[in-house]
Amino acid sequence: MNDGFQEFGLDVEDFGLSEEEEPAEASVESEEIAQAEALLPVTFLPWHKPRKQWVRDKQWWGQINSHILPNLRGMDTVRYFGLPGDDLLDVRYLQQKLSGSGKSVFILGLLSNQAGWEAAQKQLSKALDSDGIHRDSAVEKLNFDHLENPQSLAYQKMAKIGYFDVVNLDFCGNVIGPQLKSRRLDAIKNLLGYQFQVVPQRWLLFLTTRSSRATSCLETFNRLAECLDQNLTVDEFWDEFNARFDTTPIHANRCLDRPALDGQDFIDVYTIGLFKFIVGLAVKNKFKIKMDSVVKYDIEGEEASSDMISMCLVFTKVLNRPDGTAQEELTEPDMALRGLKKLKEMRCVDEIIVEDIDKYVACVKQKIILLEQSGRNVTGYVEEVCIKDIGVLGVTVEELNRRLAAL
């Protein structure tokens, strides 16, 4: 590992405490509100639930361990782009996992809330005192949505790094929320376009977003619905879609009845449309795409069914033969078709996590350790956070605490 910033082609000032100017008319985004609320004197927050640790371990780490580590080929650093919270729980967990194998994570994180960013600097400083995290890692006070503009400081910071093995877009709200319109979707498009240019072989995208009609900008949703409409006239795709999503309102000409979409039908079209939006970008840039894992979970207090979607996508570059022809021909309908089964069979983490008491306890233990490392008092965690799960598992608070103490 080279000294300083040279390994990533950076100057020291590239990671100074610079701020990107916000437009005067910019609204406060839901993620910024959530980050600000995280700093209030509240004991535990929604993302402190055991189910998020399941996602962190089974989805995110599982994909990194399967698809990235075997392909590092002598390199010792996983290059990671993310949107961390002020406690850096995701980074700390990845740091723990990598340090045991003599590897580390380099992170470029974007966090636009001032108070959250300041707290994240303290957490990052603590993390840098231990193995498993590259010393040039940084969390910048920048807005992810500014990536919609390639001239923005956020885009320039990203471009200085090179490529990322892992991109983790863990949003609290909807990618196409009413206040965002198409800004965030365009930012994602630019980020993916950048990655497709610079990644040498394989990379991962983790994307978490809400998907209900009530949380969506319907004008931007039409862009996703159009992605699905384009494939409904392809017979093989249509047959698979119609067999698996037979309640979706469709006109006789195989076109979505968009005004009639609601509830689970809307969520289905949203997730398929978003997946197809990404598939189209991948195929255009000669990358294979595989949906390796996708789950959902509920938002407490919301009437919508489980509309928080967490998907993991694997991108692999298709190389050319010596004669210049592609080793594998890619077509967008074929690539999209492969994801329909997983999207239909998507399970709810809230149900998965309570199927095995031993695995649940291990998940809770991992989460408590991470929270303690971030400086949070975990007294009463089981009683406050796990009480609903305990009822489903059929155990008592005392028994769960005994099991935790035994680990």
Q: Angle between the 218-232 and 235-244 helix axes, to the nearest 10 degrees?
A: 120
Contact between residue 108 and residue 191 where contact means Cβ atoms under 8 Å apart: no
Domains in the chain with CATH codes: 29-348 (3.40.50.150), 357-406 (no CATH)
- Cβ within 8 Å of residue 32, ≥6 positions away: 112, 113, 116
Each residue's pLDDT expressed in tens, for the chain with a length of 407 residues: 443 334 454 443 333 333 333 433 444 455 554 554 444 445 788 889 999 999 999 999 999 999 999 988 777 899 999 999 999 999 999 999 998 888 999 999 999 999 999 999 999 999 999 999 999 999 999 999 999 999 999 999 999 999 999 999 999 999 999 999 999 999 999 999 999 999 999 999 999 999 999 999 999 999 999 999 999 999 999 999 999 999 999 999 999 999 999 999 999 999 999 999 999 999 999 999 999 999 999 986 556 578 999 999 999 999 888 877 777 888 888 899 989 999 999 999 999 999 999 999 999 999 999 999 999 999 999 999 999 999 999 999 999 999 999 99
Query: How far is 3 from 11, CA to CA, in rounded Å?
Result: 12
Residue with tokens 């010596």: 322
Burial 255-282 (b: 16+ CB within 10 A, else e): ebebeebeebbbbbbbbbbbbbbbbbbb
Contact between residue 176 and residue 182 where contact means Cβ atoms under 8 Å apart: yes
For residue 340, give the 3-state DSSP assignment.
helix
Alpha helices in 8-136 (DSSP H): 30-37, 50-54, 62-63, 89-99, 114-127
pTM for this structure? 0.89
